[in-house]
A and B are shown apart, each in its own frame.
Chain A
């Protein structure tokens, strides 16, 4: 082993407390940097995987991002509905394999209610073409039956058989409730990490039923229909908010999109979910970059700490370096001693940081998924993360230049007189 490496190891062992604290601060900075990077990357892929297997989303003509937001993410409201007949016309197209109607506008204790039909459970896919699965129960069959997303059930503590009341509108504290027409929970979906988890699913007939005695967003005075009475009415849907469309072949997607966009019956809009998801993610690029900048700053602070520790230790090591110099160590040896120490500290910090990251990923992944719907994949370091580590090591090497240069200058100034 080269003399400077041997001495570095011995000297560091002698200062194990300050060395340990420095390694800890670098490790925490590296964990934070890689953690944020991993969260960002997993959030991005989770976001892109919110919906899969759907070729087109159809809604009333508005903006593509707005349509995506309310139909997939349950954020905001549609400017207009689409007629059921329009949906039937689309479904009748030879390119179309399936259509899933979506009807939005109601809520339950802050969670959006989605009116749909059995095709939703058959065709809705997320992630890598994963279908919806039931953690408990079954799809709704009767009019006043509901299926809960995993987060709704967990947050509200609902189980099968629970009676729930829907509210008109999307507010968390809506005053106008459909209290006279309660629903029974018959199914709870398995967790997906998508907005499905935060959705209460009911049948389209139910949406019609609860609004039979309503007009203009308010109950019609004097007309109160019980749940039982609504069954006498025609509950087939008249209008829906949007629809997911699956095609027989991907090759026909632009032809079908053109058909919808040029639809004569009413102004409609068809979007390709993948492209619009990317567009939506692009809107969040500033926040994403800000997150990355913050974690880079954390690393900078960690490295500044490394330099501070090395510079501070120079005072106590000045005598040691002067002794080595008098014994024949050259300025290059002194420089290597400090630079080597910085690199060893950075290596150790990166190693502990990665171990901490993997440990935390394994330990916190279930909690993050449960609390925030964020699916963290437990995996080894990715190429981009290796690059970050290389950047940290390179930065540590550059940062070590400051104390190493000071040590070099001191060793020249101290000469052969060691009275420090």
Chain B
């Protein structure tokens, strides 16, 4: 686990080709092992920021260090490898592959990363352990993801993000499909697992009701001022 900040943004700016900047952040950090709630309405630049952190796109200007690495300086293939090795992602719609079993979905991330595979050890056993920690019945693991309930799919998605102890877990509106009671339960599970694995958590949501459970809460509109972009 790196001792560097999980995220370190300095005068970052991003614009899609031919468009005005949509993201401009002067300063933003996420400490290692910190669990941060990033709140922002639709269109506030959350998805663009996640793509930048994930290394799928690179900043137009400024500096972005993820887990101590200037990802923009990496070659595209190295950025993909970095993402596979160091990041875990929980999506809003869970995004499980419907034709894979729950177990195959959980272990999928390890198939693209040797480092992650090695950290996980026995990948299948680790997947089962995580599933158990997330209250998933073992009998569900062999079933196709499409046959699971919404709550079960969400926990499979969380296990997939957590397997191989990534240093940074990104959760992109993962509770939007759940009712309030289930939202809190899922967030508590996620926070507990991140704490156990020593992962930093960047939890992105437009719903502030869950913010109190996190170490810190930041409103994206407060740090993103595209009109001030250079």
Comparing B19-27, B75-83, B178-186, B217-225, the segment that makes contact with chain A is: B75-83
Scoring A322, A333, A416 by chain B CB atoms within 10 A of each residue's CB, the highest score goes to A416
A336 shortest CB reach to chain B, Å = 12
Comparing B85-93, B134-142, B147-155, the segment that makes contact with chain A is: B85-93
Question: Contact string, A1-43, partner B, CB cutoff 8 A, digits 1/0?
Answer: 0010011001101100000000000000000000000000000
| The residue from B85, B89, B100, B113 contacting A416, defined by CB atoms under 8 A apart | B89
Give the interface size bracket for B toward A: 20 to 34
Contact A326 B91 (CB under 8 A): yes
* Residues of chain B lying within 8 A (CB to CB) of residue A331: 76, 80
CA–CA, A232 to B42, complex, Å? 115
B4 shortest CB reach to chain A, Å = 20
Question: Contact string, A389-420, partner B, CB cutoff 8 A, digits 1/0?
Answer: 00000000000000000000000100111110
A140 shortest CB reach to chain B, Å = 74
**B85 (CB) vs chain A CBs: closest residue:** A328
> B73 an interface residue at 8 Å Cβ cutoff?
no
**B47 (CB) vs chain A CBs: closest residue:** A417
* Residues of chain A lying within 8 A (CB to CB) of residue B96: 323
> A76 an interface residue at 8 Å Cβ cutoff?
no
> B191 an interface residue at 8 Å Cβ cutoff?
no
B168 shortest CB reach to chain A, Å = 13
Known A-B contacts A328-B81, A328-B85, A329-B80; A415 and B93 likewise in contact (beta carbons under 8 Å) = no
> B84 an interface residue at 8 Å Cβ cutoff?
yes
Q: How many residues in A have their beta carbons less than 8 Å from beta carbons of B?
A: 27
Contact B51 A417 (CB under 8 A): yes
**B170 (CB) vs chain A CBs: closest residue:** A416
> B15 an interface residue at 8 Å Cβ cutoff?
no
| The residue from B47, B98, B99, B104 contacting A415, defined by CB atoms under 8 A apart | B47
> A136 an interface residue at 8 Å Cβ cutoff?
no
Contact A412 B112 (CB under 8 A): no
> A332 an interface residue at 8 Å Cβ cutoff?
yes
CA–CA, A13 to B98, complex, Å? 12
Contact B112 A320 (CB under 8 A): no
A398 shortest CB reach to chain B, Å = 24
- Number of residue pairs spanning A and B whose beta carbons lie under 8 angstroms apart: 79
> B97 an interface residue at 8 Å Cβ cutoff?
yes
> A327 an interface residue at 8 Å Cβ cutoff?
yes
* Residues of chain B lying within 8 A (CB to CB) of residue A417: 47, 50-51
| The residue from A6, A14, A329 contacting B98, defined by CB atoms under 8 A apart | A14
Contact B111 A3 (CB under 8 A): yes
Interface residues of B in 89-126 (CB under 8 A from A): 89, 91-93, 95-100, 104, 108-109, 111-113
* Residues of chain A lying within 8 A (CB to CB) of residue B53: 416
* Residues of chain A lying within 8 A (CB to CB) of residue B111: 3, 6-7
Interface residues of B in 43-59 (CB under 8 A from A): 47, 50-51, 53-54, 56-57
Contact B95 A11 (CB under 8 A): no
* Residues of chain B lying within 8 A (CB to CB) of residue A3: 111-112
> A330 an interface residue at 8 Å Cβ cutoff?
yes
Contact B77 A332 (CB under 8 A): yes
* Residues of chain A lying within 8 A (CB to CB) of residue B85: 328
Known A-B contacts A328-B81, A330-B77, A415-B54; A11 and B91 likewise in contact (beta carbons under 8 Å) = no
Known A-B contacts A10-B99, A419-B92, A419-B93; A327 and B109 likewise in contact (beta carbons under 8 Å) = yes
| The residue from B92, B98, B112, B172 contacting A328, defined by CB atoms under 8 A apart | B112
* Residues of chain A lying within 8 A (CB to CB) of residue B97: 10, 320, 323
Known A-B contacts A10-B99, A320-B97, A416-B56; A330 and B80 likewise in contact (beta carbons under 8 Å) = yes
Known A-B contacts A13-B99, A327-B89; A415 and B51 likewise in contact (beta carbons under 8 Å) = yes
Contact A412 B80 (CB under 8 A): no
A366 shortest CB reach to chain B, Å = 45
**A11 (CB) vs chain B CBs: closest residue:** B99
> A181 an interface residue at 8 Å Cβ cutoff?
no
Contact A415 B81 (CB under 8 A): no
B146 shortest CB reach to chain A, Å = 10
| The residue from A13, A319, A322, A327 contacting B112, defined by CB atoms under 8 A apart | A327
CA–CA, A11 to B108, complex, Å? 13
Known A-B contacts A3-B112, A329-B112, A415-B47; A10 and B89 likewise in contact (beta carbons under 8 Å) = no
* Residues of chain B lying within 8 A (CB to CB) of residue A415: 47, 51, 54, 56-57
CA–CA, A359 to B99, complex, Å? 35
CA–CA, A333 to B113, complex, Å? 12
Contact B54 A416 (CB under 8 A): yes
Contact A326 B112 (CB under 8 A): no
> A325 an interface residue at 8 Å Cβ cutoff?
yes
| The residue from B57, B81, B92, B100 contacting A330, defined by CB atoms under 8 A apart | B81
Contact A319 B51 (CB under 8 A): no
A333 shortest CB reach to chain B, Å = 7
Contact B50 A319 (CB under 8 A): no
Known A-B contacts A330-B80, A416-B51; A10 and B112 likewise in contact (beta carbons under 8 Å) = no
* Residues of chain B lying within 8 A (CB to CB) of residue A327: 84, 89, 108-109, 112, 160
**B160 (CB) vs chain A CBs: closest residue:** A327
A25 shortest CB reach to chain B, Å = 23
CA–CA, A418 to B174, complex, Å? 12
Contact B95 A328 (CB under 8 A): no
**B84 (CB) vs chain A CBs: closest residue:** A328
Q: Apart from A323-B95, A328-B85, A417-B47, what are 12 other A-B pairs with CB-CB below 8 Å?
A: A6-B111, A10-B99, A13-B99, A319-B95, A324-B112, A326-B83, A327-B109, A328-B112, A329-B112, A331-B76, A416-B54, A417-B50
Listed A/B pairs (7) with beta-carbon separation below 8 Å: A3-B112, A6-B111, A323-B91, A325-B80, A328-B81, A415-B51, A416-B172
Instruction: List residues of chain A with CB under 8 Å of any chain B CB.
Output: 3, 6-7, 10-11, 13-14, 319-320, 322-333, 412, 415-419
The 4 closest A-B pairs by CB, nearest first: A328-B84, A14-B99, A330-B80, A328-B112
